[in-house]
């Protein structure tokens, strides 16, 4: 499991994606096949108090023979599933079948799908930004070489429950595929594809939460990979746009970890408490909030650390911009290296 947003005024909430049922297909000639993902919120994680949407990657298999590698995974997203009625509505939802825009940057191809015509110029600008960020992140940051990536971004009707994912059977020589679902509008979502791609890349680079060497520290690896994916997306946006805006923090969000309420931005002491909690969970497996949720609470911490109190953006050609790019190049090849960096925060 990967990217998940927590939105709750009083309790930690995470929608985990676990498994899938029958095959679903979009109606467009070029549309992929889709699966519906069953949702498991987990016991004792509180009640839903606000709308939820998120995208995720779920690794389901893979292997290698000589130079040839395979990787099976699910890629997609879900939104606004609260009860049996909304779940039934989500099961009837289909993916958009109208391609409104397509952009290529290097070996990256991004397509934007909707149910109806939208502002073409805005769609073109958005799609170009996503493609450029992916191209620059892969070639200049991680893995530091041209990477063939095909991304389909589906704009879903605002307020419509959905849970859709593509099943990908990747082999060496084929492009990596990412399917992104956005609720209603594309604004403020240009970094989602870069974030999700990072999770797939870590599997191929053998540094992911799924890799055997992280077996004994799976919760910490999962949480730290979320932080790394946020860093990756931020560096891609900085390179593509020439600046990085201050991460948007919802003042109504409260994370509850080990019965301790925490509101972002987190202090250095709160970060240390979270890391200590992760180590305790890994040392003695027990019922605990999912590690992806904890990773989401830490996600923007390294980025916010670079911003001065009233600063609204970081310019690419600035000392802070260079520091952020340096952090990405140093830390992203091994997400576990972010742990001691976070421990050193004051």
User: Has residue 148 been placed in a domain?
Assistant: yes
Highest mean pLDDT among 69-83, 91-105, 323-337: 323-337
- Domain holding 322, by residue range, is 230-343
User: Has residue 4 been placed in a domain?
Assistant: no
Mean pLDDT value across the chain? 81
Task: State whether 240 and 166 are in the same domain.
Answer: no
Pick the closest to residue 184 from 114, 111, 248, 127 (CA basis).
Answer: 114
Task: State whether 182 and 263 are in the same domain.
Answer: no
Task: State whether 311 and 250 are in the same domain.
Answer: yes
Give per-residue pLDDT as tens, 148-197: 999 999 999 988 999 899 999 999 999 999 999 999 888 778 899 999 99
pLDDT at 20 over 80: no
User: Has residue 34 been placed in a domain?
Assistant: yes
Angle, CA of 41, 8 and 11, to the nearest 5°: 70
Give the end of a domain, one of 146, 172, 205: 205
Task: State whether 189 and 249 are in the same domain.
Answer: no
Give the end of a domain, one of 170, 205, 240: 205
- Which pLDDT band holds residue 28 (cuts at 50, 70, 90)? very low
**What are the b/e assignments for 292-326, b being 16+ CB within 10 Å?**
bbbbbbbbbbbbebbbeeeeeebebeeebbeebbe
Number of compact structural domains in the chain: 2
Task: State whether 41 and 169 are in the same domain.
Answer: yes
User: Has residue 210 been placed in a domain?
Assistant: no
- Which pLDDT band holds residue 214 (cuts at 50, 70, 90)? confident
């Amino acid at each position: 499991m990967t990217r998940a947003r927590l939105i709750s005024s009083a309790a930690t909430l995470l929608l985990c994606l676990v498994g899938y049922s029958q095959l679903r297909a979009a109606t467009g000639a070029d549309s992929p096949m889709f699966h519906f993902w069953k949702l498991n919120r987990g016991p004792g994680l509180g009640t839903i108090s606000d709308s939820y949407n998120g995208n995720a990657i779920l690794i389901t298999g893979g292997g290698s023979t000589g130079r040839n590698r395979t990787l099976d995974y699910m890629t997609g997203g879900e939104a606004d599933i609260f009860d049996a009625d909304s779940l039934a509505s989500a099961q009837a939802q289909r993916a958009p079948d109208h391609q409104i825009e397509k952009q290529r940057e290097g070996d990256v191809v991004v397509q934007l799908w909707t149910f109806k015509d939208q502002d073409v110029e805005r769609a073109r600008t958005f799609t170009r930004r996503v493609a450029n960020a992916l191209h620059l992140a892969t070639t200049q940051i991680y893995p530091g070489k041209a990477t063939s990536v095909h991304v389909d971004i589906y704009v879903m009707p605002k307020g419509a429950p959905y849970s859709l994912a593509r099943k990908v059977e990747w082999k060496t020589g084929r492009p990596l595929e990412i399917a992104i679902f956005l609720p209603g509008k594309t604004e403020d979502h240009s970094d989602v594809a870069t974030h999700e791609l990072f999770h797939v890349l870590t599997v191929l680079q053998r540094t992911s939460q799924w890799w055997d060497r992280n077996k004994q520290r799976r919760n910490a690896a999962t949480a730290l990979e979320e932080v790394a994916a946020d860093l990756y997306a931020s560096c891609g946006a900085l390179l593509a746009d020439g600046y990085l805006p201050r991460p948007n923090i919802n003042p109504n969000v409260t994370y509850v970890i080990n019965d301790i309420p925490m509101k972002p931005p987190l202090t250095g002491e709160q970060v240390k408490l979270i890391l200590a909690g992760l180590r305790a969970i890994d040392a003695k497996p027990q019922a605990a909030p999912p590690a992806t949720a904890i990773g989401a609470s830490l996600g923007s911490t390294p980025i916010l650390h670079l911003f001065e109190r009233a600063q609204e953006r970081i310019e690419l050609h600035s000392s802070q911009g260079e520091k952020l790019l340096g952090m990405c190049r140093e830390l992203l090849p091994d997400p576990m290296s972010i742990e001691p960096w976070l421990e050193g925060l004051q």
